Amino acid sequence: MSPTIPSTSPPPGLHVAIIMDGNGRWAVRRGSPRLEGHRRGADAVDRIVEAAPDLGIGTLTLYAFSSDNWRRPLEETAGLMQLFHAYLRKETARCVQNGVRLSVIGRRDRLPPEVLAAIADSERSTAGGRTLHLRIAIDYSARDAILRAAALAEARDELSRDRFAGLLAHATHAPHPVADVDLLVRTGGEQRLSDFLLWECAYAELVFAPQLWPDFTPADLQTALSEFQSRQRRFGGLAPAPAA
């Protein structure tokens, strides 16, 4: 039987997704190990999460580790796993205090047991948060998620976009389907999607920011949001006719 997906109303506000790129370059430019860039990247995550609700963001999805990142040297992947573990252990109490619901999306079968335990504790403790839904993508691949969701679909005839979004949530361990992404930001100057939220970004506005992720500030996010606000979203329709 295919899974029943509980639907919970998300916090009101925009869904912003961020590809946090540039940690490695930030470190290399300073002659530091790449992991130092990731550590400073975690500090940037704190600042952005704290600022998000006041910027009108209800759901924030951060790309922390793609399934293709396993191709990196063991030292870096193991260091990142330690960093995620430390982050979840350290930040959960603050999330509870600030009404932040924390979920991790992606595959779970390749994560170290201590990270899995920290995810379970964080998700349980923060489940009541209604100010911001913070989703951290770890071992995430949009194409793999779509494949897993397709495999869950029992009868293709019954599939609709909403139903598929539900299966996609289930396939990534998300607690419920989320609204489509409104704004996708990629830091670090490069301009690609890197297998992130391919279904959910169907009509996302894209903003590519030059700053390396550890340097990205709430003011930079505000700039990206201002750019977003200046765009006209037509969702395939036509622009409204000018008032006579």
- Taking CB under 6 A as the criterion, the residue among 38, 85, 101, 186 binding ligand FPP is 38
- Taking CB under 6 A as the criterion, the residue among 140, 164, 213, 216 binding ligand FPP is 213
103 near ligand FPP, judged by CB under 6 A? no
Q: Is 65 or 164 the residue whose CB approaches ligand FPP more closely?
A: 65
Q: Is 9 or 97 the residue whose CB approaches ligand FPP more closely?
A: 97
Contacts of residue 240, Cβ cutoff 8 Å, sequence gap at least 6: none
Residue 21 is among the residues annotated as catalytic for this protein: yes
Phi, psi at residue 102, to the nearest 5°?
Answer: -110, 125
- Taking CB under 6 A as the criterion, the residue among 5, 60, 62, 201 binding ligand FPP is 62
69 near ligand FPP, judged by CB under 6 A? yes
The minimum distance between CB 127 and ligand FPP, in angstroms, equals: 19
Instruction: With contacts defined by CB under 6 A, name the span among 23-31, 114-122, 144-152, 153-161 that binds ligand FPP.
Output: 23-31
In this structure, the dihedral spanned by the alpha carbons of residues 159, 160, 163 and 165, taken in order and rounded to 10 degrees, is: 120
- Taking CB under 6 A as the criterion, the residue among 16, 45, 104, 132 binding ligand FPP is 45
196 near ligand FPP, judged by CB under 6 A? no
- Taking CB under 6 A as the criterion, the residue among 18, 20, 102, 207 binding ligand FPP is 20
Rule CB under 6 A: which of 76-95 touch ligand FPP?
80, 83-84, 87
Cβ-based neighbour number of residue 66 at 10 Å: 19
User: Would you say 172 and 109 are in contact if contact means Cβ atoms under 8 Å apart?
Assistant: no
Strand (E) or helix (H) holding 184 = strand 183-186
Alpha helices in the chain (DSSP H): 23-29, 34-51, 74-98, 113-126, 142-152, 161-171, 218-230
Q: Which one from 69, 144, 180, 215 is the annotated catalytic residue?
A: 69
Rule CB under 6 A: which of 146-165 touch ligand FPP?
none
Residue 69 is among the residues annotated as catalytic for this protein: yes
3-state SS assignment for residue 136: strand
User: Would you say 151 and 78 are in contact if contact means Cβ atoms under 8 Å apart?
Assistant: no
Task: Give the side-chain half-sphere CA count within 13 A for 131.
Answer: 15
User: Would you say 180 and 201 are in contact if contact means Cβ atoms under 8 Å apart?
Assistant: yes
- Taking CB under 6 A as the criterion, the residue among 18, 64, 185, 201 binding ligand FPP is 64
Could you give the CA distance from residue 79 to residue 166 in angstroms, rounded to a whole number?
Answer: 33
Catalytically annotated residues: 21, 69
Residue ranges in contact with ligand FPP by CB under 6 A? 20-25, 38, 41-42, 45, 62, 64-65, 69, 80, 83-84, 87, 136, 188, 213
